Chains A and B, each alone.
Chain A
């Protein structure tokens, strides 16, 4: 029992510590592909450090929601880390607190507060970004629901640890069309939810074109640092769900040994690096979609996962 609690805490620490590095590597690789040098991979750490040491400015017109938001936004993805397999393939202490639908709810709670916080200080760009995020959000919602439905249909459960054990029982179940189509749909979801390129450009500095970024324009100091950090954590959480539950549940610690759990950290980092390379290729070869084309992108994701479901439902 004590071991499992310890591992759960370790898992959280690893994600909190490594997630800025992942964003740093991703942006550096992207710049290299575009034949620029780009900032150091440790730049996100420096940004966080700098922001944590700055004063916070809060508008006198804003309410308590504005102050609470950074903490809620930060805690939501960090709490999700306790529920999903990051380092181990056996369930940890809190694993049965919530299933994948619960994970979706907790992430949505963070997103909801981010929107409230953006609307609260009445900065003209905040509500605009908030409403756009909602648009992407409600288009992504049906895809999420169908993905969970298909996953639970195939695996018989929506607890991430059980799903992960189901997919790799044999190469047949791994190569099954339902699985591959589901992966494609989920990758499109990660791009939409993580604000990556065909949907939103994370490096853009033009407020009118922003979707995700403009929600946190009004924050400074510690609040800005927490929101930035939660963005890194959220990206890593989505990557971990994608890799450890759906694609490659290999390389995780299988036995309850502390050394093995520690060994899983570089293996998981390696898997994430490979996924980052895929993301870099996608982001460098596609252009950002116009706002009203996003519905087509997510519509395609929806069709893909419904196709996954019907190929599964009618397979004899």
Chain B
């Protein structure tokens, strides 16, 4: 290989930095479409990191992981979502959030710092050559995905939050060993696709019944709302 390992490491660190940036942007974005685009970029960065680590560790398994990622997340997931959901969901501009965006971003920042501290014991327990920035950044991606899941009140962005959590877990996982079994990645990738499919169908049903995908409005019963409107309660 003509490229020296240190340059590969530097490029991998760069992919990590951009990965963290997409995770933050996913918390900050207001549009469903933007959320999906950011997820696609994040998956591409994950694949790039897998390829770079494959070069650095000299592992063929990681190449397989990268290829599976490259096919499943940026291509198949958007296709499934497009087929199962109506285009009305994509064209909506604003997403409901339980918190406003500056507050969300501040919490997201605290989560990212926390994940760096969380990564220290993990990094101390592995061999020195596997200590890379992937672990804290992947953990941050995991936590930020979970946070997105918690504050969003719209079904599709919540689904993307779950997928972002998976991305984060993988981003951390691929750097920790040379021989990540390919079967694990295959299983999880197909699991993710099934998840997208099932949630897509569920969202479609919710939309047909209620006329909207705002999960935040599902907290109270329809009759309750009607009674309250009439001033009975």
User: Roughly how many angstroms separate A184 CA and B11 CA in the complex, as a whole number?
Assistant: 17
A interface secondary structure, majority: helix
A311 touching B7 in the complex, CB below 8 Å, given contacts A175-B13, A180-B17, A303-B24:
no
Residues facing B in A57-92 (CB within 8 A) are none
B17 x A307 contact (CB < 8 A)? yes
A304 touches B116 (CB 8 A): no
Please report the C-alpha to C-alpha distance between residue A176 and residue B18 in the assembled complex, in whole angstroms: 11
User: Given A172, A177, A310, which contacts B7 in the complex, CB threshold below 8 Å?
Assistant: A172
Question: Are B14's CB and A177's CB within 8 A?
Answer: yes
Q: Which residues of A contact B11 (CB under 8 A)?
A: 175
Asked whether, in the complex, the Cβ of B108 is within 8 Å of the Cβ of A303, the reply is: yes
Q: Is A238 an interface residue (CB 8 A)?
A: no
Known: A296-B101, A300-B105. Contact between A315 and B13, CB under 8 A?
A: yes
| Residue pair B109, A311 in contact (C-beta under 8 Å) | no
Task: Give the Cβ gap from A275 to chain B, nearest Cβ, in Å.
Answer: 21
A172-B7, A314-B136 known; A307 vs B24 contact (CB < 8 Å)? yes
Contacts of A306 in B (CB 8 A): 109
Q: Judge whether B16 and A295 touch: CB under 8 Å.
A: no
- Which residues of the partner chain A approach B113 to less than 8 Å between Cβ atoms? 310
Name which residue of chain B comes closest to A312, CB basis.
Answer: B17
A156-191 contact mask (Cβ, 8 Å, vs B): 1 or 0: 000000000000000110011110110010000000
Q: Distance (Å) between the CB of B8 and the closest chain A CB?
A: 10
Q: How far is the CA of A316 from the CA of B134 in the complex (A)?
A: 12
The residue of chain B having its C-beta at the shortest distance from the C-beta of A304 within the complex is B21
In the bound complex, CA of A299 to CA of B11 (Å): 27
Q: What B residues does A316 contact at CB under 8 A?
A: 131
Least distance between A176 CB and chain B CB atoms (Å): 6
B102 within 8 A of A: yes
A-contact 0/1 string along B36-64, CB 8 Å cutoff: 00000000000000000000000000000
Return the contact of A172 from the options B10, B17, B136 (Cβ within 8 A): B10
Which residue, of A300, A304, A306, has the highest number of chain B Cβ atoms within 10 A?
Answer: A300
Is the Cβ of A303 less than 8 Å from the Cβ of B18?
Answer: no
**Contact across chains for B10 and A176 when beta carbons are under 8 A apart:** yes
Are B131 and A172 closer than 8 Å at their CB atoms?
no
Interface residues of B in 111-156 (CB under 8 A from A): 112-113, 116, 119, 131, 133, 136-137
Q: Which 10 A-B pairs have the closest CB atoms?
A: A177-B17, A172-B10, A175-B10, A299-B102, A314-B116, A175-B14, A296-B101, A303-B105, A177-B13, A299-B105
